[in-house]
Amino acid sequence: MGDQVFVKVVGFTDVERHALNTMFRLSDERVTTYAVWAPGAPESPKLALIDGQAHEARQALESPNEDPDMKLIWVGAITPAHASRTIVRPLVWPEVLQAMDELFAPPPVVDFDLDFEPVAQPGARTARRILIASADAGNRFYLRAKLSSVGLLDADEAVSGAEVQELLKGTSYQAILLDLDLPDVIGWELLRRLTAIRPAVPVIAMTAHAGPMARLRARLAGAQACFGKPPHPGDLQTLLQGIKES
């Protein structure tokens, strides 16, 4: 069991509260988990997430009972001097999660108890290659074309989770384009494994059901981004350009 961080939440709309509670619930799959603090919780809050537009915001800041060591993420334009992070609306929940992780999440730990080797074998290829993992031939063709458009010409293809695992034994990849709808594995579990054994390698996830919660879940699992199928060409190209230049 990892660390649990209790978060004192002040303000926010009902819709934002619902999204926040969903994000916290999904965090149960991670090393660092988050939970809304309430009186009677087993620990004091380590973080205050305060909506600067709420009338309770100023009162929360000036409360004499506040722990001076409690970190603060402020949502709003006018930032208190002691805020650890500031976020402006419209809220993008993966960015909120990233801000929290920057304050509390430990550095990634490589898990060696996996179905495939976390380190390339002697003699493995170490070129700056991309791995495309999708059972859909049309999707693979589209992704290869987008890679070529930014000058990323060296790519391997896998049509199953088993092929992904086999290729990772022999090649160190610059990035992985992962279709979560592979036929022989649970895509979300494969995503978590990939980001655990290759924490420095960006994984771009894709799924046929890429709504806001899927994008948040992918971020929680370690993906750099999550797109629908086919991915938005402009957004994908921007991301791939950044990978090429990294």
What burial class does residue 179 get, using C-beta atoms within 10 Å of its C-beta: 0-12 exposed, 13-18 middle, 19+ buried? buried
pLDDT(103) > 70: yes
Rounded CA separation 168/146 (Å): 22
Residue 232, Cβ neighbours under 10 Å: how many?
12
Domain assignment present for residue 115? The answer is no
Instruction: Give 129's strand partners.
Output: 173
Nearest to 5 by CA among 102, 77, 93: 102
**Is residue 80 located within the same domain as residue 144?**
no
Domain assignment present for residue 117? The answer is no
Rounded CA separation 165/46 (Å): 39
**Is residue 100 located within the same domain as residue 148?**
no
Rounded CA separation 199/191 (Å): 11
Domain assignment present for residue 185? The answer is yes
pLDDT(141) > 50: yes
Nearest to 156 by CA among 130, 179, 136: 130
Tell me if 185 sits within 8 A of 161, measured CB to CB: yes
Structure tokens at 127: 């070129």
Residue where the block lists tokens 């002691």: 82
Rounded CA separation 162/179 (Å): 13
**Is residue 64 located within the same domain as residue 100?**
yes
Average pLDDT over the chain, rounded to whole? 84
**For the chain, how many structural domains are there in total?**
2
**Is residue 202 located within the same domain as residue 96?**
no
- Please tell me the predicted confidence (pLDDT) of residue 176: 96
Q: What is the pLDDT of residues 162-209, one digit of tens each?
A: 999 999 988 889 999 999 999 888 888 899 889 888 888 999 999 988
Cα 32–36–40 angle (5° rounding)?
110
The model's pTM is 0.59
- Please tell me the predicted confidence (pLDDT) of residue 127: 55
Domain that holds residue 135: 125-245
Q: Is 232 helix (H, G, I), strand (E, B) or coil?
A: coil
CATH code of 79's domain: 3.40.50.2300
Number of H helices, E strands in the chain: 8, 10
Instruction: Give 36's strand partners.
Output: 7
Cα 71–74–78 angle (5° rounding)?
130
